[in-house]
Structure 1
Amino acid sequence: MNVLIVDDSAFMRKVITDFVKKISCVKNVDLAHDGQEAFEKIKVNNNIDLVLMDVEMPVMDGLTALKKIKNFQRNLPIVMLSALNNRQVTIEALEAGAADFIEKPVNLLNISQDWVADFKAKILMVGDKKNQLQSMAQDSTDKAPTSINSRPMPRMINALVIGASTGGPKTLLEIIRNLPPVLRIPIFIVQHMPKGFTASFAQRMNSETACTVVEAKDGMPIQRQVYLCPGDYHMTLETGKIKLNQLPKLHGTRPAVDYLFMSAAEVYRANLVAVLLTGMGSDGAKGMAEIQRLGGYNIVENEESCVIFGMPGSAIELGVVNEVLSLTTIKKRINQITR
């Protein structure tokens, strides 16, 4: 893997470079001081597999550079390096096509092992997307068909739960924009995102739709609106209300989709629809197994429209999926369910 690191801070470039070089599959690391230099390097080098780019830089900032690079080379994965005070711009970058973001460590002299593990996982998963796209057609002919539990969707649907990780913010914004102005049922969303960013993301989603989107709070009564789980909390459902907790991380993350899906299955049983979108890892698959056991209905995003197919793919492998749909079809289906 060939990685381009873009940051105006020499110290930050050194810190990120040191971590990247420890990843065994990384062959070459190139550096750029700002977005303009990064764009010029990408124009003359077709072998870059992944870009790690700061949000705030002189000459050309990360958001502007992201848009230029995406116009030039749409499938090149870009991960933003973001500080907490850049959260609004980070959300805009995710909407503009960034594959993911990595929150810069607060203390560069004492970086936690959790941060290192998360950093490495994102580099490996997002950086491999280029190879996934190239091999997708071959894989589809080589793999044996996976079992899909085709059956009719429940006639009476009382709630919709959605889980997403890498690539999720852009996908969720597309879904939110397609919702009816008045919802017939509540929607609960878990998006893997750290503390401090989810409030901005909820505000962003709320500004893009006529219905109401809020960041969930502990004990909040359930109404016909959209609830986004806050970062650093798990969200569970009880009859008529939302509960938040800080139980240990699941799949290395808090919030975890499985907590939401499992609790929703107990409350709504056969009147529940779950949608699992793009994301790395396997979060959500076990929750879908519980939803299926209690009579609910499971939909996952297909590989072609996912940034990372890990989470949907894991649910398919468990044999707990009723439909595999493109994002375009998922948007239409959710609109039908909620109006």
Structure 2
Amino acid sequence: MNILVVDDSAFMRKIVTDLLERMPNIHVSNTARNGQHALKLLAEALKPDLVLLDVEMPVLNGLETLKEIKRLYDIPVVMLSALSNKDITIEALTLGAADFVEKPINIREIQDEWIQDFYGKIKNIPTQRRRPVRRTERVERTEEPPVLKERSLPSRIQALVIGASTGGPKALLRISKALPASLKVPIFIVQHMPKGFTTSFAQRMNDESAAPVKEAQDGMSIEKCVYLCPGDYHMTLRQGKIVLNQEAKVHGTRPAVDYLFESAAQMYRRELVAVLLTGMGKDGSEGMREIQRLGGYTIAQDKETSVVFGMPRQAILSGVVNEVLSLDDIGAKVKQMVR
């Protein structure tokens, strides 16, 4: 995979390039010092498979550059963002960035955990050039379609839980825009996102949704609104309240979808519906298994509308999904369930 690295800091460009060049099958084909320089390279040179784009730059910033790249090319973009740019980063995700990487606090002493997260995000972003030749995709086409668990949607629904990762912010905004102002059940969301960024994302969702959206806090009494789990915390439900904790990461992430799904299953049992959206990895499958065991209903996003078909695919192959739907169909179904 060829990557174009765009950052106004020469030091940052070198660090990112060195890290990427250590990855197997990854090559930094070019670097750019600002958005204008990046667009010039894209117009003149062989197109990369992915653009790694800094949020804040002189001459032409990350948002304006992203808009131009999405207008002119079908190339995935991953943003490089500092916590101080969290609102702009959320905007970038709504404009079509596939994901973002939070810049390390101390770039002279980068932690192994940051590097692993960085590598995971880069290698899991689907690219146009890689799609036709991926062996796993050829195998998938010959696989027998997985058998979905036959079960009717509960006649009485008490709560809805949603899990998402890569590609999730844009999908969640699309779903939240369709929500009515008055919800008849609470909605709980875990989106894999670092601390601080979830505050901005909850605010963005609240601004664009008719329904009230809150970043969850420990001890909150559950009301009929939308709750987004804060970054760096797991969210569980207990006795009508939200309980946050910082227990060990699950699947390398905190928050983890499984924590929410499993506790919600215990609380709402057969009156619970779970939705698993786009994202890399396998978070959510075990939680869906528990929801199924206790009589709840589970929905997974389909491959065609997922940015990364990792989490939904794992759940489907694990036999814990009742229904596979496109993002638009999920939005319509959620609206129907909560109004």
Q: Please indicate, yes or no, whether the TM-score normalized by the shorter chain is above 0.5.
A: yes
Please say if residues 20 and 28 of structure 2, whose CA atoms lie closer than 8 Å, have aligned partners that are also in contact: no
The aligned runs of 1:187-266 (5 Å cut-off) are 187-266=187-266
Structure 1 partner of 2:111: 112
Distance 1:208 1:130, change over 3 A: farther
- CA shift at 1:140, angstroms? 5.6
After superposition, what is the alpha-carbon deviation per residue over 1:19-39, rounded to whole angstroms, capped at 9, x for unaligned?
Answer: 000111113431011112212
Gap change, CA 1:68 and 1:82, over 3 Å in 2: same
Describe the shift of the 1:257–1:13 C-alpha distance in structure 2 as closer, same or farther (beyond 3 A): same
Contact 1:273 1:297 in 2 (8 A): yes
Q: Which runs of 5+ in 1 are unaligned?
A: none
Q: In structure 1, what residue type is equivalent to 2:239?
A: T
Where 1:227 maps in the other structure, the secondary structure is strand
Deviation at 1:309, TM superposition (A): 0.4
Q: After superposition, where does 1:173-192 map in structure 2 within 5 Å?
A: 173-192=173-192
Deviates more, 1:172-181 or 1:124-133: 124-133
Counterpart residue identity of residue 202, structure 1 = A
The letter for the 1-side match of 2:8 is D
* Aligned CA distance change for structure 1 residues 218 and 133 (closer, same or farther; 3 Å): farther
% identity of equivalent residues: 57
1:329 to 1:252, Cα distance in 2 relative to 1, 3 A: same
SS of the counterpart of 2:274?
strand
1:146-178 CA distances to partner (integer Å, 9 max, x unpaired)?
Answer: 121132111011000000000100110000000
Equivalent position amino acid for 1:196 in 2:
G
The 2-side partners of 1:120 and 1:102 are apart by 10
2:41 aligned residue: 41
Contact 1:129 1:308 in 2 (8 A): no
5 Å-filtered alignment, 1:261-300, equals 261-300=261-300
**C-alpha contact 1:50 1:127 (8 A) present in aligned 2:** no
Counterpart-to-counterpart distance in 2, 1:73 and 1:143: 32
1:5 matches 2:5? yes
Aligned pairs (5 A) from 1:318-337: 318-337=318-337
Q: What is the TM-score with the length of structure 2 in the denominator?
A: 0.96
Separation of aligned partners in 1, 2:83 and 2:186:
30
Residue-pair matches, total:
338
- On the 8 A contact 2:20/2:27 being kept in 1, the answer is no
Specify the alignment match of 2:167 in structure 1: 167
Contact 1:21 1:29 in 2 (8 A): no
Contact 1:17 / 1:29 at 8 angstroms: preserved in 2? no
1:220, 1:130 → 2: CA distance?
47
User: Aligned AA for 1:2?
Assistant: N
User: Alpha-carbon deviation of 1:132?
Assistant: 3.5
> Which residue type is aligned with residue 275 of structure 1?
V
- The 8 Å contact of residues 126 and 307 in structure 2, kept in 1 or not, is answered as no
CA separation in 1, counterparts of 2:91 and 2:44? Answer: 27
* Equivalent residue runs for 1:81-100 within 5 Å: 81-100=80-99
Conservation of the 8 A alpha-carbon contact between 1:49 and 1:127: no
After superposition, residues 309-320 of structure 1 pair within 5 angstroms as 309-320=309-320
Would the alpha carbon gap of residues 96 and 320 (structure 1) be closer, same or farther in structure 2, given more than 3 Å must change? same
Distance 1:220 1:42, change over 3 A: same
Task: State the match for 1:101 in structure 2.
Answer: 100
In structure 2, how many angstroms separate the alpha carbons of the residues matched to 1:142 and 1:216? 43
Q: Report the 3-state secondary structure (helix = DSSP H, G, I; strand = E; otherwise coil) of the residue aligned with 1:314.
A: helix
**Secondary structure at 1:40 match in 2:** helix
